[in-house]
Amino acid sequence: MADQRGSDCLAMIVKPRIRGFICTTAHPLGCAANVRRQLDTVKTAGPIEAGVRNALVLGCSGGYGLASRILAGAGCGANTLGVSLEKPPTTAKTATAGWYNNAAFEAEATALGVRAQTLNADAFADAAKDQVVEALKENFGPLDLLVYSLASPVRKHPRTGVLHRSVIKPLGEPLRMKSLNVDKGEVVEVELAPGSDADVANTVAVMGGEDWELWIDALDRAGLLAPGFRTLAFTYLGSELTWPIYRGGTLGKAKEDLDRAATALRARLAPLGGVARVASLKGVVTQASSAIPVVPLYMSLLFKVMKEQALHEGCIEHIHRLFATQLARGAALRLDESGRIRVDDLELSEPVQNEIRRRWPLVTTENLHELGDLAGFKADFLNIFGFGLDGVDYDADLDPTARPLG
């Protein structure tokens, strides 16, 4: 951020400071505007009758988790308890975007007439599960819905104490593939070394299904799963263009473990009339997806093609479709042979994929703007951190520690 006016003064002008695939600053008013924009989309689309009174969203502060919380709160009229791991602001440094998003959502929830509470905690730890059980008992009651939307590079295992680090690597042979240097707007070739067995085991430990199962254990033991309880976790199956780095790589192994957990949880929840499903979602720009090699180039082409075919959805539009068509009462579920909910059908439709496959070998730095939507990708990336939103004065001084007004 630029221009901090003296150590005893909290006013500062906040500008984006981008380091690779992360922005180290976040704009509080921009983040609030981003949450409001998503809430407005949901309110305009109208209420969704899904029988959800109390929802828990793990990973509630950004991306698909934030969108799910907004759908639960503003679409379904549910009280929401959210868990995320974000950094609060100091007088010298802005908070992480998710911290401002949570504050903005809580303020807006009051106006919506629904309860919203957020815990800033490591969701992988037993302590977070205990805190959630306590908060549900005190303020909410049994859950109708749990959305598991964590995306993390590390997990300290609650039983062994081992710190597992997930990696995004291909498997088998070294991979040479086209990718995108987003900062420079250059199409480049990357070479990625394959992951080892230990990389797979670590990535499964972080992004697989074990923690989801531990959450259900803790909530079930505490008697906090309502009859008909539903839980969702998210996967990306994607186009075969991204399979070498995603579905066929270390992360794909973790997502296979999520499928395993969903099957086990379905059996376990059946006596309650409950169900667990993995939902396969489309590619969107989030903090997690920006960090995956190759994916930003694929997404630039995807966005251009889906916009041309009038099929494009951002995070909130996509999760709206998930809730409105798959969670609403009487919904006809779009399940695949593994029992996953599929809302990635538009991304994976033949007209979209044929056109991306045609463009993939042709795309270069020179024609990227014509064949792909780098501008759209970059705008979405800045929006995550509260930059580039309409109606926000980015030259105004602000106090990074102030809470938004409801």
Q: Which of residues 313 and 397 has its CB atom nearest to ligand NAD in the complex?
A: 313
Cα 346 to chain centroid distance, Å, stands at 19
Beta-bridge partners for 116: 80
The verdict on 122 binding ligand NAD (CB under 6 A) reads yes
- Residue 148 Cβ vs ligand NAD, minimum distance, rounded to whole Å: 8
- Residue 204 Cβ vs ligand NAD, minimum distance, rounded to whole Å: 13
Binding mask 136-175 for ligand NAD (x = CB under 6 A): -------------xxxx-----------------------
User: What size, in residues, is the chain?
Assistant: 406
Task: Single out the residue of 393, 376, 382, 380 nearest to residue 25, CA to CA.
Answer: 382
In angstroms, the CA 194 to CA 175 distance is: 7
- Residue 395 Cβ vs ligand NAD, minimum distance, rounded to whole Å: 28
- Which long-range CB contacts under 8 A does 124-127 form with residues at least 24 apart? 124/150, 124/152, 124/155, 124/156, 124/157, 124/158, 124/211, 125/156, 125/158, 126/158, 126/218
Q: Which of residues 88 and 228 has its CB atom nearest to ligand NAD in the complex?
A: 88
In angstroms, the CA 280 to CA 259 distance is: 11
- Residue 3 Cβ vs ligand NAD, minimum distance, rounded to whole Å: 28
Helices 295-308 and 350-359, axial angle in degrees (round to 10) = 130
Q: Which of residues 14 and 206 has its CB atom nearest to ligand NAD in the complex?
A: 206
In angstroms, the CA 204 to CA 208 distance is: 4
Contact residue for ligand NAD among 28, 98, 170, 404 (CB under 6 A):
98
Q: Which of residues 12 and 316 has its CB atom nearest to ligand NAD in the complex?
A: 316
User: Would residue 246 show up in a list of annotated catalytic residues for this protein?
Assistant: yes
Binding mask 190-229 for ligand NAD (x = CB under 6 A): ----------------------------------------
Contact residue for ligand NAD among 287, 300, 326, 383 (CB under 6 A):
287
- Residue 258 Cβ vs ligand NAD, minimum distance, rounded to whole Å: 8
Both tokens of residue 26?
């976040």
In angstroms, the CA 150 to CA 83 distance is: 9
Binding mask 57-96 for ligand NAD (x = CB under 6 A): --xxxxxxx-----------------xxxx----------
Among all residues, whose Cβ is closest to ligand NAD? Answer: 63
Task: Single out the residue of 30, 128, 13, 17 nearest to residue 82, CA to CA.
Answer: 128
Touching ligand NAD, residues 264-283 (CB under 6 A): 281, 283
In angstroms, the CA 267 to CA 180 distance is: 43
Residue 399, CA distances (Å) to 89, 104, 282 in order: 10, 15, 36
Contact residue for ligand NAD among 105, 140, 215, 234 (CB under 6 A):
234
Q: Half-sphere exposure (CA, 13 Å, Cβ side) for 353?
A: 13
The verdict on 236 binding ligand NAD (CB under 6 A) reads yes
Contact residue for ligand NAD among 100, 105, 124, 381 (CB under 6 A):
124
Residue in 64, 100, 246, 298 annotated catalytic? 246
Contact residue for ligand NAD among 118, 289, 300, 326 (CB under 6 A):
289
Q: Which of residues 12 and 71 has its CB atom nearest to ligand NAD in the complex?
A: 71
The verdict on 246 binding ligand NAD (CB under 6 A) reads no
Task: Single out the residue of 86, 69, 83, 163 nearest to residue 130, CA to CA.
Answer: 83
**Dihedral sign, CA of 321, 325, 327, 332?**
negative
Which residues have a catalytic role annotated?
A: 246
Contact positions toward ligand NAD, by CB under 6 A? 59-65, 83-86, 98, 122-124, 149-152, 234-236, 281, 283-284, 286-289
